Homo-oligomer: A and B are copies of this chain.
């Protein structure tokens, strides 16, 4: 029975808060989805205590995997990887590697989580570097998949192509979009169009067989012009954080205005149901959970500051990825593209159709 369940390894120690967020989130998640089994990774005693505190009596939904160490937000990648070999992150990733879990989730130190999962799981054939992808709600009522969000600072055109392949597979499989459109993030038409890497990437994308839309600009992310927006990790990270900052500022300003005086507060009461509906629509906690793509296993990164509600969405994302066969689908997409590139190379006698692969 447990065999057929979707098994998620959860780093219970990670994130700004840790156990008081991860354990209740896991508890609720398991209640909502009886088809999952949670592997709670971390200090066994502390986890057991947190479970008791949250009144979990039924033990069928979880299993504790003990890990004696914790990677902190301040730890360097070096320390996380070489010195803390029994960290909750490491044990969670190893559970996927060993086939004990179908996916792993952490809200901890992003750099460490990337390094550890990459070291333990390795990259897929044809992928040089994993990328971080997430969904951003768009005007069309759907979500735009965007990558890379910070795994890769200096990217080549080939890396951007690989991101496009992975992002396309993600949108296709998880959002069930047939031949997702892919846009390359660039600057205004009237400016000198983008840097050299982006220009080369556009060329590669045009010949990739992907459903390449062409260049898109910053405002196309929320417009929902394309299903997948590709950029390097520096740009993606800065854009995502800028948007988060703006959303927070707007929310605060609105609260300010509705609490400014008695009359405003009365109006706020009247408008409350509408304001709540609005808040729910823009609430980015429901979009928590970025996928680390390109690894031989399903790896999800939750926002470090996620509360239990948001962390629950990251867990759901892991479940969805397993259920929809993200790993197999991505592998298939990459293999398919590599084969067609090889074929094209043979036909055109072009000697550099794809960068060298391997992790």
Contact = CB atoms under 8 A, between A and B. Distances in A.
Interface of A: 73, 77, 109-112, 137-139, 150-151, 153-154, 185-192, 194-196, 198, 217-223, 231, 233-235, 237-250, 252-254, 257-258, 260, 264, 267-268, 270-271, 273-275, 277-278, 281-282
Q: How many copies does the complex hold?
A: 2
Contact of A150 (B191, B196, B273): B191
Contact of A218 (B192, B194, B240): B240
Nearest to A187: B237
Given A194-B153, A221-B245, A250-B247, A235 B237 contact: no
B221 A110 contact: no
A135 to B, nearest CB: 14
A138 B268 CA distance: 24
B191 A111 contact: yes
Given A139-B249, A221-B245, 19 more contacts: A139-B252, A153-B192, A217-B237, A219-B242, A219-B245, A219-B248, A222-B242, A223-B245, A234-B235, A235-B235, A239-B242, A242-B243, A246-B247, A253-B278, A254-B278, A258-B274, A267-B270, A270-B270, A271-B274
A245 B220 contact: yes
A77 B252 CA distance: 42
